[in-house]
Structure 1
Amino acid sequence: MAPSQPPPPTPSSTQPSASQSPPPQDHAQQQQPQQPPLPRFLENDPARTGYDPSIKWWLNYFRILTGKVTREGIEHYREDRYRANEARDCARCETDRAYLFAYSPVIRFLREKVSALNGTLDENNVVCRRCPARVAEDGRVVRQGGGFSPEHGILICANEMRDRGHLEDTLAHEMVHAWDHLRWKVDWMGGHDLRHAACTEIRASMLSGECRWTRETMTRGHWTLTQQFQNCVRMRAIQSVMARSTCRDDAHATKVVNEVWDSCFADKRPFEEVYR
């Protein structure tokens, strides 16, 4: 992973086979699934959304508080504020990145394991950038927290990071992807076999700490006491597989994740256990 330009916004966030051996490649000869149409993204229209970027930001904020801006308008407002605060967000992200490289046990451990596979992760290829979010025609908001590119390295979306702990989880997730790629040379976008993508997403969500009980309950408000961890890992893996262009729909993503679940959820490498 040589230093270069920031990685493109490929899904990781985001998100190799990591079972006891690399997954079989016998599906490469199958006919490629039909790709779903790309979503149409909406531009802001003040008459429709109630958000007017030509007036002061605090006036728009007051309009939001009084219910005069639609949910779509709130997303456009959020994006404009991220754009205005880009330099501040990136500077904070870079400071937190340096701290984690120096003091975080999980980040230091994964960095050593990547180095043992002749990979390098440092400030040159772990970059902080603003990642634009987009509002799809069906109302979905398409955003990401980070991404991994074999050619470029790791992208951290500075504007999406709530705090240093959130950045630590995101960075650990992408570093698991980096280790998997160096270990198995993953088919990232599922051009031949989506099981690669499903497996690395299961492992990254499981090992990064983003599905631990305190994160699920305190941050996301999920208070399920049984199977919470497994449900979180499965859900995040399905969502990430759905972002691949060769995935047809949520049923297809769920089927692929289920096919590799047992072996990949049981594989803790390069850790011995799930520590976070």
Structure 2
Amino acid sequence: MTDSSSLPQPPTAQPPESPVFDKDFYTWTTFFSLLAGQRPAEDRAKYMRMRDLANEEADCKKCEKHLTYLFNYSPVVRFMRDEIKKLGTDVNPTNVRCKRCTTRQTGGFDLHYGILLCANELQTRGQIEDTVTHEMVHLYDNLRFKFNDLDLKHHACTEIRASTLSGECRFAREFFKRGQTTITQQLQECVRRRATLSMRNRSSVRDDVHAAQLVNEVWDSCFNDTRPFDEIYR
């Protein structure tokens, strides 16, 4: 078994040169004018960047605190850690990084770099639990199966499995956080939607139709494959 340092290191979440903090822009006046719809969309994006810069240290510390708790007490995180250990790699708070991300995503996994959590996009322990579990499923799939990084069907399959098994598509999360009120086939619809969106963000995927086609081609086998769980955990 390899030690924890063998887990690939996540890429830095910041760009080479961080944007300069504009204290004259990041004010209550700007905030309320954005709420009132008196500023263009690009000003909202700039305000969010300034917010992330101002709160970077606090966001990362909060993320790291929740992450430590989850590795100690979360049943799903502890289970996934044990299963990944069986494949020769240890995942723990020292090699899962909480960073400020510059894109609107909650986390990521890269075959060569590892697991990243976007501290500025994760507000609660529950969100962090769902996200780290999602990325741990990706890591498990890369270690357990003959994963071909150039095969888009392999990526579609692991996106389906990660959304299914992480808990991010359970009904309460969809209903209260995302406003999705459909009950019939709710889990399947959520997994399809999130897996398709993830695939669409890949540069080698042509468009929405191509992304949906890739998900559909592997749907039956990948949605029903709950390994390493006996069944969908939550």
Asked if these proteins are the same fold (TM beyond 0.5), I'd say yes
| 1:56 to 1:227, Cα distance in 2 relative to 1, 3 A | closer
1:78-227 map, 5 Å: 78-133=48-103, 143-188=104-149, 191=150, 193-227=151-185
What is the alpha-carbon distance in structure 2 between the residues aligned to residue 76 and residue 125 of structure 1?
31
Q: Unmatched 5+ residue regions in structure 2?
A: 14-18
Alignment of 1:239 with 2:209, yes or no, is: no
SS in 2 for 1:151: coil
SS in 1 for 2:6: coil
State the AA in 1 paired with 2:205: C
What is the alpha-carbon distance in structure 1 between the residues aligned to residue 39 and residue 143 of structure 2?
47
What is the alpha-carbon distance in structure 2 between the residues aligned to residue 75 and residue 56 of structure 1?
12
State the AA in 1 paired with 2:96: V
Regions of 4+ moved over 6 Å? none
* Structure number with higher helix proportion: 2
CA offset at residue 65 of structure 1? 2.9
What is the alpha-carbon distance in structure 2 between the residues aligned to residue 3 and residue 155 of structure 1?
12
State the AA in 2 paired with 1:62: F
State the AA in 2 paired with 1:122: N
Alignment: residue pair count? 223
What is the alpha-carbon distance in structure 1 between the residues aligned to residue 141 and residue 185 of structure 2?
26
Paired residues of 2:147 and 2:154 also in contact (CA < 8 A): yes
What is the aligned counterpart of 1:2 among 6, 9, 27? 6
Output one character per residue of 1:194-218: Cα deviation in whole Å (capped at 9) or x when no partner. Answer: 1000000000000000000000001
What is the alpha-carbon distance in structure 1 between the residues aligned to residue 173 and residue 55 of structure 2?
26
What is the alpha-carbon distance in structure 2 between the residues aligned to residue 8 and residue 228 of structure 1?
35
CA offset at residue 70 of structure 1? 2.3
| Cross-structure match for 2:16 | none
State the AA in 1 paired with 2:54: A
Paired residues of 2:7 and 2:114 also in contact (CA < 8 A): yes
CA offset at residue 185 of structure 1? 4.1
Paired residues of 1:207 and 1:275 also in contact (CA < 8 A): yes
| Cross-structure match for 1:140 | none
| Greater mean alpha carbon deviation, residues 66-75 or residues 76-85 | 66-75
Provide the aligned C-alpha RMSD in A: 1.8
Output one character per residue of 1:215-260: Cα deviation in whole Å (capped at 9) or x when no partner. Answer: 0001111110111110100011111111122111111111111100
What is the alpha-carbon distance in structure 2 between the residues aligned to residue 8 and residue 177 of structure 1?
19
CA offset at residue 99 of structure 1? 0.1
Q: Which has the higher contact order (CA 8 A, sep 6+)?
A: 1
Paired residues of 1:6 and 1:152 also in contact (CA < 8 A): yes
Q: Unmatched 5+ residue regions in structure 1?
A: 10-42, 44-51, 134-142
Paired-residue identity, %: 52
CA offset at residue 125 of structure 1? 1.6
| 1:184 to 1:56, Cα distance in 2 relative to 1, 3 A | closer
Paired residues of 1:53 and 1:77 also in contact (CA < 8 A): no
SS in 1 for 2:181: coil
| Greater mean alpha carbon deviation, residues 119-128 or residues 169-178 | 119-128
